Structure 1
Amino acid sequence: MINRTTQSLLGALGVLALALGVAEVHPPKGQAAASGASVRTAVQQTTLVCPPPVQGSSGTTQYSLAAPGGSGSAGGSGSASGTLTPLSAPIDGSATANTGGASPSASATSPSPSASAKGKAHASSSAKASASANAASPAAGSSAAPAPAASPIAQLTQLGGATTAKAPSGSNAPGMIATAGGALAPGFTVQQTTLSSKGLAGTGCSAPSTDFWFVGADTAKGTTAYLELSNAQDVNADADVQIYGANGEVDDTVASNINIPALGTSRMLLSSLVQPGNDGQNLAVHVLVRSGQVAAALHESQDGNGSDWIPATTLDSSAVIPGLPGDVQKFGLTVAVPGDTDADLKIQLASQNGWITPAGHETIHVKAGMVDYVDLSNVTHGQPGALRLTPSDPKQATPFVASVFASGHGDIAYLSGTAPLTRRGTVAGNQSGSSILLTAPNGAATVTVSSIGNGGSPTSKTVRITAGSTVAVQPQVPAGASTYAVTITPTSGGPVYAAREIGDKDGLTIQQIPDDGSTVLIPSVIQNPAILVQ
């Protein structure tokens, strides 16, 4: 007779045999499965968010979409299309951020951002309740974006193609959510460019995230800076904002538990997030998302000088800031050290002739928790370049964030520390006269610069960059194309840093070009039946 213990053991062995049988019938495929190596594959879905344009009542904004595709993308699953769809209109959070605001709502059109009137330690109960509710929601941390109810204003269906669309007119135009699936997802890129009485302002639409740094913003008289937090998810998000200046973190910041409505944007005047008397220049702004994911953007306008978006950056102990154009005569460097250790940094410029040390600006010392600014004047002397910041003592590496302010063409632009191209970068919205600025800081490199448009045949050229130098390249315009995108693909050497300048009679704007996210690395998975019996 078989007792119950024996029956249980036989049953377990039967289940194990069945499991092993399934694993044998459907084993991992390919060499990667045999070796346990990670696999790089084309992405199947891309979501980007464009901030509400700051265009005033008479400015115009153009969106440029590009889908360069990628290796293996033709066989991707899902809908092979890219769309651009409005979010709800931006909600002005300035007044409620200063007064404590009303209880946030889940509505995409009516919620008010809720923030503490006395900083993080005294957050309003309604804001805390919102943060707790968002943190408890299983969808709050999801990166998948639902399809908004609004109709798309642009659709792209051609692999290797580009198209454009105009934003609604007026000062209350909404942000946009851009999504692409299937073969069009790899490298899908959207550029937002605004022409107004303030000049040109441009930014690449970005993927939602949880941590952002912006360096070089002002709240002083004559400057207007807007922080815009856009939420492409169908649940509210919650964020804190820290502001650092020349004397350390700005006291009494009114920027705790800010609510960002589902499928909407909270727009805040930066000066409204600090108490009167704490206005300053060359500030560093840290956005830390507590629940959900958002796309953060910071726009600055200076009376009589121009306007543009300040690109986000990340903390690091060294930085390369590419894209300093040769036709601009004024530059300034802002460095912030939010930690508890001072930073001593070397300043170097990669010009057309290799690395040089700017006379009079060899180093910069920034105290812990503070921000410092250096007027670099005409540091490029008519040649395109890139700045490199490294520890004066490699044994004393301190994390910092940095940006460069540029003034020329009757306008302003901002650059920040960014990552090099490792696989491919894409920038959309190029115009006649656009320049691609390429820097190879460590060793000589070769890249392929290709152009794709909404008409005509794609064009390509090979560009070689000598070690420690920067070159400016005029991309070829595809025949018959009114707008076009450019891809930069490293082919040897490197690393390579890239940026795109648009500078003409209308103004100046510069966008740095990171990897376009055409592929994703799948972690290794190996066939190991022993796991089933542990």
Structure 2
Amino acid sequence: MNRTTLSLIAAVAALAAVTGFAAAGTPGGDDGPAKAAAQLPVERSSLLCPEPSTSDLAETAYTSYTPASKGTEEAGKAELLPAETGAGDTDSSKSRSKKPKPVVTPKEPGKPVAGEATGADAPALVGTADGALAPGWTVQQTTTVEVGTGRGLLGVNCSAPDTDFYFPGASTAEDRSDYIHLTNPDDEAAVVDVQLYGPDGAIKSDVGEGIQIAPHASVPVLLSTLTEKPYTNLTLHVTARSGRVAAAVSAADDKLGGDWLPAAADPAASLVLPGIPKDATSVRLVAFAPGQDDADLKVQLATSSGKISPAGHDTLHVKSGMTAAADLGDVTRGDAGSLILTPTEDSVPVVAALRVTRGKGADQETAFIPATRDIGARATVADNRAKGSTLALTAPGAAAKVKVTASAGADGGTATSKEYTVKAGTTLSVTPPVPAGLKGPYALTVEPVSGGQVYGSRMLEEKQDGVPAFTIQTLPDDRGTVSVPEADEDLSVLQK
């Protein structure tokens, strides 16, 4: 066998490991049952962070963390670089002619790295990680704004690029200023359509069609420019005609503060929205049915002692292609909980999110909880603090046990871990473990030990002149591994 043939075989094997795909067997397909797929660490990750704020008073903190994973390469590289502003130049060679300075540059798994930015000029960020720093790479962006529209604590997990997103809970009400931030990580321009759905269905607008995002650039779009009249409750659907983007909604209210509204989990018949704070003074549920059928949902709250039906809101009817909303009031009544949506009869896919309000009068603040995936093999969240962090874990079905590991701090500390048992149909709300000798922000990883599926979220809170400022991030699987089928060599393809 010559050197060229050996190189080709090696290239095919490497491609299978990177993409998570490999063909098994001979062309005839008569080699017996397929072999089980292996779960291998991903070799490259992409994350994008939206432009933090338009306030000159904004203070933004970035925390990057990669949990240690078995089977990775010893070396790795990760960095977050400023994106271009606006539509930018569609010629990638011109738009990236000057190498910008990274905001954070992680060096090794298991240790957080922190960065910061101030004012309204902080850009969106485009990040990549490879090797040992890629599996489960997580970046949290947390912004503090003391005064003005949208003041409060605004937090978002920087997200991976994709082609399809739903945002139930968006608004074009007169007291809201909602922007959809679209960030393109690639070397080619992306073309995106933005569609709003209100209580009567799709809202016609030519403005949201064919929005172009230049390579490595970020574009914010004010949602009120897509409709001629205000809507309190909307669902935003973002689809990429070409390319891919990361998307997140910045929601700012004149009186109720603001936060980031992340994309909801993919449409499904049953949904979990975890971690409503125990002192929530108002909770609004917004749902949307993207298919051809209406959805009838059973609404339950998983409390610390079990599932209950919110008074007067035990069901929700969602018409096809329309946005439905229900104000649940102070549904938790002093006991942190999670909302569970299941079909009453036929299974119809829906998307959903919650707007949660804490405080009273002029001292109110809001955050959002979208429906999320379960923690899967492992979930990771960065930027935890010694005080003001709360972890909520929900087991909607069978009871479960999980292991929660607190990393070292960005500037020092010793990692620690603790196991928790979540009873069936309940929500467990705890102060997470804190590393000994903690200095700087730290990360949490949650891993299942036994039992059923678990869903989770993390709340950060701090006082701002009497305002209970807070933000909530859900804990879906961090997708640190990829399924790679075991394959046999088929050298016949090299002989044709």
Q: 3-state DSSP class of the match of 1:214?
A: strand
Q: Distance in 2 between matches of 1:390 and 1:484?
A: 35
Structure-to-structure mapping, 1:30-45, within 5 angstroms: 36-45=35-44
Pair 392,189 (structure 1): closer, same or farther in 2 beyond 3 Å: same
Q: Offset of 1:482 from its aligned partner?
A: 1.6
Distance in 1 between residues matched to 2:289 and 2:270, nearest whole Å? 12
Given the alignment, which residue of 336, 340, 356 partners 1:388? 340
Q: 2:393 aligns with which of 422, 425, 438?
A: 438
Deviations 1:277-318 (A, max 9, x none): 3x2111000000011111011111111111001110121122
Q: What letter matches 2:441 in structure 1?
A: T
Single out whichever of 474-483 and 219-228 deviates more from structure 2: 474-483
Tell me the amino acid that sits aligned with residue 405 of structure 1. R
**What is the CA–CA distance in structure 1 between the aligned matches of 2:294 and 2:94, rounded to whole Å?**
45
* Separation in structure 1 between the aligned mates of residue 329 and residue 341 of structure 2, nearest angstrom: 17
The structure richer in helix per residue is: 1
Task: Answer yes or no: is the 8 Å Cα contact 2:273–2:339 preserved in 1.
Answer: yes
> Is 2:241 the counterpart of 1:290?
yes
Aligned to 2:413: 456
1:105, CA displacement in angstroms? Answer: 4.2
Q: Secondary structure, in 3 states, of the residue corresponding to 1:72?
A: coil
Matches within 5 A, 1:67-146: 67-73=66-72, 75-76=73-74, 79-90=75-86, 105-107=89-91
Structure 2 CA distance for aligned equivalents of residues 529 and 177 of structure 1: 40
Match for 2:255 among 263, 280, 304?
Answer: 304
1:418 aligned partner: 372
SS in 2 for 1:329: strand
Rg (Cα) greater in structure: 1
**Residue 400 (structure 1) aligns with:** 350
1:376 alignment partner, SS class:
strand
In the alignment, structure 1 residue 336 sits paired with structure 2 residue 293: no
2:439 counterpart (471, 481, 488) = 481
Counterparts of 2:226 and 2:66 in 1: how far apart (Å)? 38
User: Is residue 52–residue 90 contact of structure 1 (8 Å, CA) maintained in 2?
Assistant: no
Q: Which residue of 1 aligns with 2:137?
A: 188
Q: 1:163 aligns with which of 106, 109, 113?
A: 113
Residue aligning to 1:492: 450
| Structure 2 gaps, min length 5 | 15-23, 26-30
Is 1:502 matched with 2:486? no
Aligned to 1:141: none
Displacement of 1:384 after TM fit?
1.3
Name the structure 1 match of 2:200: 247
What amino acid is the match of 1:46? S
Contact 2:261 2:368 in 1 (8 A): yes
- Secondary structure in structure 2 of the residue aligned to 1:332: strand
Could you tell me which residue of structure 2 aligns to residue 203 of structure 1? 156
Quote how far apart the aligned CAs of 1:252 are: 2.8
The residue type equivalent to 1:162 in the other structure is: P
Q: Give the partner amino acid of 2:121.
A: N
TM-score when normalising by structure 2: 0.87
Deviation at 1:502, TM superposition (A): 1.0
| AA partner of residue 126 (structure 2) | I
Alpha-carbon contact 1:90-1:175 (below 8 Å) kept:
no
Structure 1 residues 46 and 148, CA gap change in structure 2 (3 angstroms): farther
Task: Label 1:324 to 1:108 Cα distance change in 2 as closer, same or farther (>3 A).
Answer: farther
* 8 Å Cα contact 2:194-2:239 kept in structure 1: yes
1:200-239 correspondence to structure 2 within 5 Å: 200-239=153-192
Measure, in 2, the Cα distance between the counterparts of 1:215 and 1:229.
17
Letter in 2 for 1:439: T
**Counterparts of 1:292 and 1:172, CA distance in 2:** 27
The whole-number CA distance in structure 2 between the counterparts of 1:204 and 1:289 is 21
Number of aligned pairs? 460
The separation in 1 between residues aligned to 2:50 and 2:93, in whole angstroms, is 16
Deviation at 1:456, TM superposition (A): 1.4
Q: Higher strand fraction: Structure 1 or Structure 2?
A: 2
Which residue matches 1:273?
226
Find the residue that maps to 2:112 and give its secondary structure.
strand
Change (3 A) 1:441 1:413: same
Q: 1:533 to 1:150 in 2, by over 3 A?
A: closer
What is the rounded CA distance, in whole Å, between the counterparts of 2:109 and 2:67 in structure 1?
A: 6
Other structure's SS at 2:85 match:
coil
Identity %: 39
Whether contact under 8 Å (1:69, 1:188) holds in the other structure is: no
Change (3 A) 1:352 1:148: farther
8 Å contact from structure 1 (residues 90, 174) kept in 2: no
Measured after TM superposition, the shift of residue 179 of structure 1 is 2.0
User: What is the Cα deviation at residue 354 of structure 1?
Assistant: 1.1
Task: Give the match's secondary structure for 2:208.
Answer: coil
Structure 1: 5+ residue stretches without partners: 1-13, 92-103, 112-145
Specify whether residues 228 and 108 from structure 1 end up closer, same or farther in structure 2 by C-alpha distance, changes over 3 A only: farther
Match of 2:483 in 1: 521
After superposition, the Cα gap between the structure-2 partners of 1:254 and 1:485, relative to the gap in structure 1 and judged at 3 Å, is: same
CA drift of 1:19 comes to 7.9
Look up the match of 2:21. none
TM-score of the superposed pair, with normalisation by structure 1: 0.81
Structure 1 residues 171 and 266 mapped into 2: Cα distance closer, same or farther (>3 Å)? same
1:341-368 deviation per Cα after TM superposition (whole angstroms, max 9, x unaligned): 1111100111100111112111011111
What SS does the corresponding residue of 2:414 show, helix, strand or coil? coil
C-alpha distance 250-148 of structure 1, shift in aligned 2 (>3 A): farther
SS of residue in 2 equivalent to 1:288? strand
Q: CA deviation at 1:147?
A: 11
Task: Report the Cα offset of residue 72 of structure 1.
Answer: 1.5
| SS of structure 2 residue aligned to 1:156 | coil
Partner of 1:359: 311
What is the RMSD computed on CA atoms of the aligned residues? 2.7
Aligned AA for 1:246? P
Q: Shift in Å at residue 481 of structure 1?
A: 2.1
